[in-house]
Amino acid sequence: MIVNIPTPQALDDVALRLYFSAWSSLIRIRQDFDEVYVPGEDPRPTKGQWGEEWSEYIQQYQPELQAVCSVIQQSNELALKARICAVSPYLLLLNSDPKFSTVGRDIDFSELRTLDAVDLPAAVNSLCAKALSDEYVQAYNEIRSLRNKFAHLGHAGQSFQPEELIALLVRQYVELWNGRPWLKDRVSFASRTGPAFFHDGKYSSAVSEVIDELPLIFAAITKSAFKTLFGISKTTRRYLCHSCIYEATTRFYDVNLEKSKTAFLKDNVTLHCLMCDEDYEIRRQDCRVDDCKGNVISESEYSGGDVCHTCGQDQRDSPEDS
Ligand SMILES: [Zn+2]
Ligand SMILES: [Zn+2]
């Protein structure tokens, strides 16, 4: 009999792991550059004052970007296989020509040939309830053929730009995993990487890693993708989440409160955080800090007092008390 039959959940899980691995590699390229060449007025790397340095830097990064492209392709393939597997795992074997033997023995599923990458979009559209969009199939084929070129020739015949690959990843998630909480997934998969072995919550944490890249995340996601991914407009006012700020603060990492707002008002008494995907009850009350115009307050279980969701100050520490 056939053993070790894959499950759609396991395939999808690896697809998402690879997805976020590609994502963090691309963000790290930009973070490393920004650390040395601090962005000026114009934060776009290609247009800012370091445009020339950026383009030299990216040229040097081409082999790594090709590798990232491979990871993206693999993530797409596995996600499509997960969809087919959800209908029946045996459909993945449609093109295989298994050699049967009269001697009874177990066959490991992984030894069998599964559908070729090139056939996956058509297989999904023929076998699964939800069809893939034309734009997705086009992007899938492009990245597959680029990946094949450098797998066989050592180069893809074109240079990769990290921003383009990031935009591709955003579209991939919208197409394949629409409805999942993207930012929560980002944290959850950051806590399952190799380096996450060192996350002890005291010196480093997955939340601080992700909160640190938040400005780049929000800059990379276009207005329409933002609305699809997060269900709110990109211009919706955002607030601090007490829980996420607590989780992100470690001995090695001071949170930049101004740039770490992950929550928004669902209604007048509820704040929803995109990062932990939780709702919090709040009060509309003016913050007591002089120059803060915030009026969304709730008790933080971490400080035991009321804390402003705009400036992050404990209301008991406000100057009016002193
Ligand atoms: Zn949160
Ligand atoms: Zn405040």
Average of per-residue pLDDT across 311-322:
76
Q: Which ligand is closest in space to the CA of residue 214? A: 1
Structure tokens at 302: 């971490």
Q: Is residue 161 part of a domain?
A: yes
Q: Are residues 156 and 87 in the same domain?
A: yes
Domain boundary pick from 144, 178, 212: 178
Distance 155 CA to ligand 2 centre (A): 53
Query: Mean of the pLDDT values across residues 190-198?
Result: 88
- Cα–Cα distance for residue pair 302/190, rounded to 1 Å: 23
Q: What pLDDT was estimated at residue 322?
A: 46
Task: Output the CA 175–ligand 2 centroid distance in Å.
Answer: 38
The region of weakest confidence among 116-120, 173-177, 185-189, 315-319 is: 315-319
Are residue 244 and residue 267 in the same domain, yes or no? yes
Total domains, the chain: 2
**Per the domain annotation, does 29 fall within a domain?**
yes
Same domain, 143 and 207: no
Q: Which domain holds residue 110?
A: 1-178
Domain assignment present for 71: yes
Percent of the chain with pLDDT over 70: 98
Cα–ligand 1 centroid distance for 303 (angstroms): 16
One domain for residues 15 and 81: yes
On whether both 47 and 138 belong to a single domain, the answer is yes
Find the 234 Cα to ligand 2 centroid distance in Å. 22
Query: Which pLDDT does position 237 carry in this prediction?
Result: 97
Backbone φ, ψ for residue 92 (5° rounding): -65, -15
Ligand number nearest CA of 318 is 2
* Ion ligand 2 contact residues with beta carbon within 5 A: 287, 289, 292, 294, 308, 310-311
8 A C-beta contact, residue 304 and residue 293? no
CA 296 to ligand 2 centroid distance, Å: 8
Triad 147, 153, 154: Cα angle to 5°: 75
163 and 207 share one domain: no
247 Cα–ligand 1 center, Å: 9
Handedness of CA 9, 15, 20, 23 (dihedral sign): negative
Query: Minimum-distance ligand to the CA of 275?
Result: 1
Flag whether 241 is in a domain. yes
Centre of ligand 2 to C-alpha 43, Å, is 27
pLDDT one-digit tens code per residue, 132-146: 999 999 999 999 998
304 domain-assigned: no
Q: Are residues 198 and 174 in the same domain?
A: no
**Domain closes at, from 266, 281, 296:** 281
Å from CA of 228 to ligand 2 middle: 30
- Write the pLDDT tens digit of every residue in 37-89: 988 777 778 888 899 999 999 999 999 999 999 999 999 999 999 999 999 99
Gyration radius (Cα) of the chain, Å: 23
109, part of any domain:
yes
Q: Are β-strands 270-273 and 263-267 bridged in parallel, bridged antiparallel, or unpaired?
A: antiparallel
Distance CA 135, CA 188 (A): 28
Q: 259 and 150: one domain?
A: no
**Domain closes at, from 147, 178, 209:** 178
Are residues 154 and 193 located together in one domain of the fold?
no
Same domain, 18 and 123: yes
Task: Say if residue 171 is in the same domain as residue 187.
Answer: no
Residue 212 C-alpha to ligand 1 middle, in angstroms?
14
User: Do both 121 and 233 map to the same domain?
Assistant: no
Whose atoms come closest to the Cα of 187: which ligand?
A: 1
Domain membership flag for residue 26: yes
The span from the CA of 149 to the CA of 322, in Å, is 68
